[in-house]
Structure 1
Amino acid sequence: MKTTEKISGIQLSLLVFSFIAPTLILVAPSLMEKIARQDAWLTIFPGALIAALNVWIMIILSNRYPGQTITQYSTQIIGKWPGKFLGCYFLYYWLNFDFIILNQHIQFINTVFLIRTPSVIVSLTLALICGIAVYMGIEAIARCNESLALLIFTLLIPLLFLMLAESDPERLRPVLSKGVVPVLQATVFPLAYLTQFIILGWLLPFLNQPKKATTFSFISLLIISGLFCITILPLIMMFGPLTKKLAFPVLSVIQYIGIEGSFERLEAFAVAIWVMGCFIKVSITFFIICISIAHLFNLKSYRNFVVPLTILSVIGSVSIFVNYSTELASYLRNTYPSYAFFTHFILPLFLLIIDTIKRRWKKSVP
């Protein structure tokens, strides 16, 4: 499959930001606080270091196989059929990921905004818009995201300042009261999101300036990590131990500010941030799934799969869990972190190690 679609370095950086940041900020804090408690904010530092290694791995692989996605160069690294099998695994992973994100979207919207709206309607409206965006191509998604990412910043930054006004720094003490082990254990939760830089394996081939991939990728990581750190700090300083009991802690903070402050119904800002982030996240996931299918079966166009995928996504999102709240929370807490770390980090690392050994072996053979 050949394509002339291209995105700029800034667009790549903003796409990665919108893909990772909103769900990381709105979902991860409560999971981290259950283990690390008031030290949950410290998990961002080891998490960012491993995420930086994840970015480096994806860029090295992309530089070695320019113009190819991870689905394509996997067959060159580990062989045709093992590579196809790995490509099928990635396809399965992203389909499951797609269902989970849409299911989270259903739960968030039904909790905050449209309580009595049927789940299938909530899922269908987002999936349709995302399907249209993917059919238009990655360039269209990237251009749309330029405005959406700016809006996310515009809505989020003032909220952070309002949160600081209600914060009590004493709730951050004592620091490391139970040592560094709980912090390292809780790091698995932000890592599950920060290592989503694996999407570079499908986006970098569309970058119009491949030499700037490293710069813009690490800029994204720096912005996401910094924003997450300055978000979780006020959360702990406001709610302390209550943070772990909240499904969407940032939403609870915004609702609290809306009651106590000068403004009302500020949770609409959280809904806007969530919907914009989910739109980009689901659109990119759709895009990855479609081009993965095209590359696996050597097809000319990925657009033929957009409509079937949209229908399948809606069905999967409303049927993946019987009890949305408890089963989704259990999945995000117990299953997703290790599953994501294996897929996002271990598998690309495995490919890089195999490729490096093969290259050195070829050089050593006369």
Structure 2
Amino acid sequence: MESTEKISGTQLCLLIFSFIAPIVILIIPGVESKFSKQDTWITIFPAALIGSLTMWTMIILSNRYPGQTIIQYSSQIIGKWPAKCLGCYLIYYWINFDFVVLNQHIQFINTVLLLRTPAIVVSLTLALLCGIAAYMGIGSIARSNEYISILIIVLLVPLLILMLAESDSERILPVMSQGMTPILKASVYPTAYLSQFFILGWLLPYLNQPKKAIKVSFIALFLIASLLCITVIPLIMIFGPLAEKLTFPVLEVVRYIGITGSFERLEAIAVAIWVMGCFVKDALVCFIICLSICHLFNITNYRNIVFPIAILGAIGSVSVFKYYSTDLNTYLRYSFPSYAFFTQFILPLTLLCIDTIKRRWNKSEV
């Protein structure tokens, strides 16, 4: 299945930013703080390193197999049937990822905004909206995200400024008082998200100027890591050791600012950022799932399965995590980091190593 749709380098950069940044800054700081305390901001650096390695791996593979997704070129690297197994695993991974994104959305909305709304209504509303976006294609998602990403940045800037006004720099000291071990333990959480540059395996074939892939990807990584850093530091300086006890620490900062500052009900801004980020993230996930199924099973038009996948995501989000607040948090803390690291970093790196060895072997035989 080939598509004539193309996206620009700027659109790719903004897609990656919106896919990773909004949800990361609202969730990750509280999870990291459990291990690294006031050194949470340092964990971003090893995570950014893994993110850059993931990005480099996906770009090298894409350059070797231009115009193909990871589902397509994996068969040329490891053979037809192993590639089929890998493709099934990746589809399973993205479907499970879809459940997680929608369940996070349910938890956030039911906590902050719509306390009595049934979970299936919250999930299905977003899933169908994302299904429409995926049906329209990657070009439509990218164009709508150009406006969404600008809105996210515009809404975040005043919040960050107000956070700095309430900060106490003494809470971030002493630096590395317990050494590097707690920092490295905590870094697995941002690593699970910054290694989501793995999506380049599906997006790079649509880039209209492949030579810009490295530049725009590194810009996206820099923006995400910088934003996470300047969010985490004020958060620690406001809440200190209390940050680890909060499910949505940035939301609590926003509420704190609204109580003590000149503005009220600022959590509406956090809700807007969350919903826009979830929309882009789930629309891309839905598109990737449908694209992967089509490439794996030789289906000519991915649009035929978009809405069944969207409905499956909504149903799975409320059934897989039955007690979503407890089950999801446990999964994100203890299972998802290693699961994501293996899938998003180890698997593509293994493909790259195998492909490199095969190419050198073939050259030596000649």
TM-score (norm 2): 0.99
Matched, 1:302 2:333: no
The 5 Å alignment of 1:126-165 reads: 126-165=126-165
* Cα distance in structure 2, aligned partners of 1:24 and 1:285: 16
Match of 2:108 in 1: 108
Farther off after superposition, 186-195 or 323-332: 323-332
Q: Mind listing any 5+ residue stretches in structure 2 that lack a counterpart?
A: none
- Note the alpha carbon deviations across 1:150-186, whole angstroms, 9 max, x for none: 0000000110000000000100111111001110111
Query: Which letter maps to 1:294?
Result: C
Match of 2:314 in 1: 314
* Cα distance in structure 2, aligned partners of 1:252 and 1:103: 20
Match of 2:266 in 1: 266
* Cα distance in structure 1, aligned partners of 2:287 and 2:307: 12
* Cα distance in structure 2, aligned partners of 1:155 and 1:217: 23
Matched, 1:249 2:233: no
Match of 2:169 in 1: 169
Match of 2:6 in 1: 6
Query: Which letter maps to 2:340?
Result: A
TM-score (norm 1): 0.99
Query: Which letter maps to 2:207?
Result: L
CA-CA distance at 1:323 after TM superposition = 1.1
The 5 Å alignment of 1:1-366 reads: 1-366=1-366
* Cα distance in structure 2, aligned partners of 1:134 and 1:294: 14
Query: Which letter maps to 1:327?
Result: D
* Cα distance in structure 1, aligned partners of 2:312 and 2:47: 33
- Note the alpha carbon deviations across 1:55-92, whole angstroms, 9 max, x for none: 10000000000000000001110000001110110000
CA-CA distance at 1:320 after TM superposition = 1.1
* Cα distance in structure 1, aligned partners of 2:349 and 2:172: 36
- Note the alpha carbon deviations across 1:254-306, whole angstroms, 9 max, x for none: 00000110000000000000000000000000000000000001111110111
* Cα distance in structure 1, aligned partners of 2:25 and 2:324: 20
Which ranges of 4 or more aligned residues in structure 1 deviate by more than 6 Å?
A: none
* Cα distance in structure 1, aligned partners of 2:300 and 2:213: 26
CA-CA distance at 1:325 after TM superposition = 1.1
* Cα distance in structure 2, aligned partners of 1:128 and 1:312: 10
* Cα distance in structure 2, aligned partners of 1:325 and 1:315: 16
Q: Mind listing any 5+ residue stretches in structure 1 that lack a counterpart?
A: none
CA-CA distance at 1:326 after TM superposition = 1.1
* Cα distance in structure 2, aligned partners of 1:264 and 1:163: 14
CA-based RMSD: 0.5
Query: Percent identity among equivalent residues?
Result: 68
Query: Which letter maps to 2:362?
Result: K
Query: Which letter maps to 1:147?
Result: Y
